């Protein structure tokens, strides 16, 4: 019960933090996603162009990392994006993030031009195509594509039947199970989502996103011991992703493993975690280890990124209390 209470309080802290970041009026890293090839391998180092139209014009570029992921701060407006990559069909999309909290998550698939040079990039780095992926029948791929498009359009309810049909046509379709889990989470179907994500990693355990989602789902439903394995595997599969270590830091904090939480939080900071909440985790982990000076420094770093809102007020009060304590 004590662990449950600590974790629920910690989740509340992070929720308040998210609201505090929105209250600042700054976009932060609110537009993110992943670009992949048709066989579900990451599209690394692909450039996206993003822009807005209207009274305020904004234009920017972002490049995917080695896992095909991208993230950027965008204004609370209608954002358009496009990808023009040699050997692939151009991709263009439009997302309305004008309503707070102004967040977007886009899953983009690149399809090669017939006979173009892009076809070779679709293959894994070892030059072989996974037999399971190669065996996916075209009918199942079509259903998967329809389901993925619906998810990209935020039509999560509409995506589910397509993804279920893809799985029915090809029971080893781990990628379909993964996106089905996302759609089920978005429609508050927690138990089915857990089943889908569990099946995804049973079929193909080298799926960092499925491991991540499964770990977070376990943590959010207070099964902390179960969360550790998928979150650790997420970090192994995507070791340069700061989110992996941030989630492990939060998990360790909830388990009262404060030295481990400090270690993971510092690793996340080292990898340029964009969520200022990592400094809150680091600060409280240090505070629980009676490292008041280091904790104060972490909290002050948080305040350099989030200066207003309920969480900022609480952190300012805590810093003031630490100042008084250290002067005695």
Q: Is the predicted pLDDT of residue 17 greater than 60, yes or no?
A: no
Contact status, residue 208 vs residue 67, Cβ threshold 8 Å: yes
- Least confidently predicted of 41-45, 139-143, 197-201, 208-212: 41-45
| pLDDT tens digits for range 96-109 | 888 776 778 788 88
Mean pLDDT of 200-220: 92
Structure confidence at residue 120 (pLDDT): 43
Burial label for 56, CB within 10 Å (0-12, 13-18, 19+), is exposed
Structure confidence at residue 25 (pLDDT): 33
Contacts of residues 79-83 at CB distance under 8 Å and 24 or more positions apart, as own/partner, are: 79/31, 79/50, 79/51, 79/52, 79/104, 80/50, 80/51, 80/52, 80/53, 81/48, 81/49, 81/50, 81/51, 81/106, 82/48, 82/49, 83/35, 83/46, 83/47, 83/48, 83/49, 83/108, 83/110
Architecture of domain 28-113: Sandwich (2.60)
CA separation for the pair 211, 231 (Å, rounded): 6
| pLDDT tens digits for range 269-325 | 998 888 889 999 999 999 999 999 999 999 999 999 988 888 889 899 999 999 888
| pLDDT tens digits for range 153-180 | 889 999 999 999 999 999 999 999 999 9
């Amino acid at each position: 019960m004590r662990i449950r209470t600590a974790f629920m309080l910690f989740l509340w802290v992070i929720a308040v933090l998210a609201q505090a970041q929105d209250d600042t009026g700054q976009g932060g890293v609110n537009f993110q996603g992943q670009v992949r090839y048709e066989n579900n391998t990451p599209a690394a180092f692909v450039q996206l162009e993003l822009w807005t139209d209207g009274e305020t014009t904004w234009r920017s570029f972002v490049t995917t990392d080695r896992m095909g992921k991208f993230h950027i701060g965008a204004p609370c407006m209608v954002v358009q994006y496009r990808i023009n990559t040699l050997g692939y069909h151009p991709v263009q999309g439009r997302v309305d993030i004008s309503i707070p909290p102004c967040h977007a998550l886009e899953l983009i698939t690149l399809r090669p031009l017939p006979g173009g040079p892009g076809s070779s990039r679709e293959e894994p780095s070892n030059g072989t195509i996974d037999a399971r992926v190669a065996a996916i029948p075209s009918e199942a791929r079509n259903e998967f594509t329809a389901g993925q498009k619906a998810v990209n359009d935020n039509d999560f309810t509409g995506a589910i039947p397509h993804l279920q049909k893809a799985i029915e046509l090809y029971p080893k379709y781990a990628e379909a199970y993964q996106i089905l889990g996302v759609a089920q989470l978005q429609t508050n179907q927690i138990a089915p989502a857990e089943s889908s994500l569990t099946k995804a990693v049973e079929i193909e355990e080298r799926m960092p996103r499925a491991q991540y989602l499964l770990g977070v789902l376990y943590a959010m439903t207070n099964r902390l011991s179960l969360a550790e394995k998928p979150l650790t595997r997420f970090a192994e599969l995507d070791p340069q992703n700061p989110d992996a270590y941030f989630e492990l830091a939060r998990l360790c904090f909830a388990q009262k493993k404060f030295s481990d939480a400090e270690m993971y939080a510092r690793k996340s900071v080292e990898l340029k975690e964009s969520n200022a909440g990592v400094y809150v985790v680091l600060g409280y982990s240090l505070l629980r280890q009676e490292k008041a000076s280091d904790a104060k420094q972490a909290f002050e770093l948080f305040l350099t990124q989030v200066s207003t809102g309920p969480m900022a007020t609480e952190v300012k009060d805590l810093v003031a209390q630490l100042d008084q304590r250290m002067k005695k």
